[in-house]
Amino acid sequence: MQYQSRLDEAEARYNELTAKMADPAVISDSEQYRKVAKAQSELAELASQYREWKRVDQELRDARAMLEETDPDLRQMAELEVARLEPQLAEIEQELKILLLPKDPNDEKNIVLEIRKGAGGDEASLFAAEVFRMYTRYAEEHGWKVEVTSLSESSVGGLSEVIALISGKRVYSRLKYESGVHRVQRVPATETQGRVHTSTITVVVMPEADEVDVQIDPKDIRIDTFCSSGPGGQSVNTTYSAVRITHLPTNTVVSCQDEKSQIKNRAKAMQVLRSRLYQVELERQLAQIGAERKSMVGTGDRSEKIRTYNFPQNRITDHRIGLTLHQLDLTMEGRLQPVIDALTSYYQAERLRGEGEAA
C-alpha cells in the first residue's frame, strides 16, 4: 500500500507515546504528561485504523491463497471471503489516506461567529435571527458553549448583526465551511399577495486567535467605554460597562456590551479583535498560495453565495458541492450534520486529489 512507511512510523510513534504515559517520571510531571497524552490522542485513530488494515489485509492474503485449493467447496468459500474483504480493505485505505492529510492547525480552535443581514431589509434580519438560532441549536447538540458578545436587533424582532463566541471540541473543524452569503427564498409574513421574496445574510466563521497567534501592541488600540443599550435605544444599565476597541493600524472596530462588567466586555472584545486580525492574515496567506490551492483548502469566501434556503419547497441547496436536501425544516432546528458531513467529505476529496497531483 502507498504511504505504508509513513504508517509504520506513525504506529511506532504511537506505541512510544503510549509507553511514555506509563512512565512514572512522565506521570509525576503534569505538564509533560498532558503533552504526551495529547500527542498520543492525535495518533490514536490513525494507529487503530492501520492495525485494522493489517488485520484485513492478512485475511485477504489467506483467502486468496485458498483460491488455489483443488476442493471446489474451499474455493467457493475463498471467493466469498475475497469478495467481502476487498471492498472492506479499500474503504480502510481511503480512511487512512484522509487521516494522513496534513491537519488544519485551526481545527481544534473555538470560533468567532458573525452574522449580518444583507439584502432584503426586515426579512433579511428575521432570517439572520433564524440562522443564528440554527447554529445555537447545533452547538447545543454538541455540548458547545455560545456567548454573545454583540447583538443588534431590528425593529421587527430580527437581528441586524450578532457576534458570538462558540467554544467546545473541534468547533472550527465543523463550522469552517459556513462562511459566505446565505440566501433565503420564502413568502414574508408581511407579503399580502403571496409572492416569494429573496433575501440574503452573510455568515463569517473565524478561528479564535490566542494571544500567541496575534500580538497586539497596546499603543495600537484605542478603548472607549459607554453605557449599554438595547433595542430602541433604551438603557440596559447606567454604568459605562460597554466597550469599543479600535485597532488603529487597520481601523478595525469591535464592540461588546453583553456583560455588566467592563472587564469582561473588554476581554471578549479583545478575543474578537484578535480573531479578526488573525483571519486577515490567513486570507493574505491564502492569496499568496494562489486561487487553485485556496479552493482546495476551502475556507469559504464570504462574498460568495454558498447556500439557498427555499422554504416553499422545504429545500436546502449548497451550491459549492451541488448538494440538495428536502429537509429544511429539520436543518433550521439545528440538524445541520448531513450538510456539514457532505462539505467535509467534498473538501477532503479535493485535498486528496491535490495531494495525488502533487505526488
Tens place of pLDDT per residue across the chain (359 aa): 677 888 999 999 999 999 999 999 999 999 999 999 989 998 999 999 999 999 999 999 999 999 988 888 999 999 999 999 999 999 999 889 888 887 888 888 899 999 999 988 889 999 999 999 999 999 999 999 999 988 889 888 899 999 999 999 999 999 999 999 999 999 887 676 778 899 999 999 988 887 656 778 888 889 888 776 654 444 444 566 788 889 988 888 888 887 778 888 888 888 888 888 888 877 776 565 444 434 433 443 445 689 999 999 999 999 999 999 999 999 999 999 999 999 999 998 888 887 665 55
111-351: CATH topology: Alpha-Beta Plaits (3.30.70)
- 185/352 Cα distance (integer angstroms): 35
Considering only CA atoms, which of 328, 323, 326, 320 is closest in space to residue 347? Answer: 320
pLDDT confidence of residue 287: 67
β-strand partners of 317: 308, 324
Can you tell me whether residue 322 is helix, strand or coil?
coil
Q: Is residue 256 within 8 Å of residue 266, measured between CB atoms?
A: yes
Q: Where does the chain hold its CATH 3.30.70.1660 domain(s)?
A: 111-351
Q: What is the CATH number of domain 4-100?
A: 1.20.58
- 240/226 Cα distance (integer angstroms): 5
Considering only CA atoms, which of 115, 188, 112, 204 is closest in space to residue 153? Answer: 115
Q: Where does the chain hold its CATH 1.20.58 domain(s)?
A: 4-100
The amino acid that residue 122 corresponds to is D
Q: Is residue 309 within 8 Å of residue 178, measured between CB atoms?
A: no
Instruction: Give residue for cell 476442493.
Output: 71
- 81/69 Cα distance (integer angstroms): 14
End-to-end CA distance of the chain: 15
Sign of the dihedral defined by the CA atoms of residues 114, 120, 123, 127, in that order: negative
Q: Is residue 319 within 8 Å of residue 307, measured between CB atoms?
A: yes
Element (H, E) at 267: helix 262-289
pLDDT confidence of residue 297: 36
Tell me the three cell numbers of residue 77: 468459500
- 314/317 Cα distance (integer angstroms): 10
Considering only CA atoms, which of 320, 298, 331, 327 is closest in space to residue 134? Answer: 331
Can you tell me whether residue 142 is helix, strand or coil?
coil
- 259/203 Cα distance (integer angstroms): 23
Considering only CA atoms, which of 303, 301, 333, 329 is closest in space to residue 316? Answer: 329
Starting at the edge strand that comes first in sequence, how are the strands of the sheet with 221-226 ordered? 221-226, 242-247, 252-256
Indicate the pTM of the whole model: 0.71
